[in-house]
Amino acid sequence: MFTVRFHEALVYAAELHASQRRKLSGAPYIAHLMAVTSIALEHGADEDTAIAALLHDAIEDQGGPPTREEIRRRFGERVVEIVDGCTDTDQTPKPPWRQRKESYIAHLGRSSADVQLVSAADKVHNARCLLAEYRAGGESIWKSFNGGKDGTLWYYRSLVETYRSGSAPPPLVEELARTVSELDRLTKTFL
């Protein structure tokens, strides 16, 4: 089903993110990249899109423009276009959180189906993890997020609206919507 390119992308992603861990759980970051790739594959990703899913955070978190060029060289233009579409900034230092998220949402509304698939797979995995961490840790988790509780919930609600009007796979969008709704419900119950 896949060529050696997919294996090379998996190894490259593992190398790029080797020292990175998930924000709340502390799990090796590659677990997130593999989960996003799995979700994307379950919703119709082809090899290029699956490679982009493995590398979706590479430009943003692991080197900016030089990493973009390395992805282009190794995996081609289509992969780098999808990864670029999933990147909210390649600047260091990063612009303010709210500004980045508003720009990302605006860009996402005009993005290709491949970008929306990988982006939605990423957000579904992030939302699942956020919900699980909220159930385990309650309100204390919000201090780990630049947007805090209100900003983070605004961002996920906005993403659901954007995906619903775009070309992300509807079952994936509805899973995200259910997860965000449950998180909303739990946070309101806490008050």
**Residues recognised as catalytic:** 60-61
Contacts of residues 1-8 at CB distance under 8 Å and 24 or more positions apart, as own/partner, are 1/47, 2/47, 2/50, 3/47, 5/47, 5/51, 5/75, 6/47, 6/50, 6/51, 6/54, 8/74, 8/75
DSSP 21-64: B-TTT--BHHHHHHHHHHHHHHTT--HHHHHHHHTTTHHHHTTS
Cα angle value 148/19/7 (rounded, 5°): 110
Phi, psi of 28 (to 5 degrees): -55, 135
The answer to whether the CB of 45 falls within 8 A of the CB of 117 is yes
DSSP state of 180: H
